[in-house]
Amino acid sequence: MSLRVASYNLRALQDDVAALARTVRVIDPDVLCLQEVPWIGPVNHRIADFADRCGLVWSGRSQRAGQTSVLTNLRTNVLSVTHHRLPARTWRDRRGFAVTRVAPFGHAPVSVASVHLSLDADERLVHARSIMDRLSAQPGPAVLAGDLNEQSDGAAWQFFGASMQPVSPLEPTYPSAKPDRVLDVVFATPDVTVLPHREVPWVWEDLKAATDHRPVWVDIETQPLPDPSVPRSGE
The DSSP result for 39-68, as a single string, is: -SSS-HHHHHHHHHHHT-EETT-S--BTTE
**What is the C-alpha separation between 101 and 17, in angstroms, rounded?**
27
What angle (nearest 5°) sits at the alpha carbon of residue 231, between those of residues 227 and 235?
Answer: 145
The answer on pLDDT for 4 being more than 80 is yes
What is the predicted pLDDT for the residue at 100? 94
What is the predicted pLDDT for the residue at 43? 79
Overall average pLDDT of the 54-71 stretch = 81
Percent of the residues in the chain that have a pLDDT greater than 70, as a whole number: 91
Query: Ramachandran region of residue 72, left (φ > 0), alpha (ψ -120 to 50) or beta?
Result: beta
**What is the C-alpha separation between 191 and 71, in angstroms, rounded?**
24
Q: Please, what's the b/e burial string for 78-91 (b: 16 or more CB within 10 A of its CB; e: otherwise)?
A: beebebbebebeee
Q: What is the mean pLDDT of the chain?
A: 91
pLDDT digits (tens, 9 = 90+) for 72-102: 999 999 999 999 989 877 666 678 999 999 9
Overall average pLDDT of the 148-167 stretch = 98
pLDDT band at 155 (very low <50, low <70, confident <90, very high): very high
Helices (H) and strands (E) in the chain, counts: 5, 12
pLDDT band at 106 (very low <50, low <70, confident <90, very high): confident
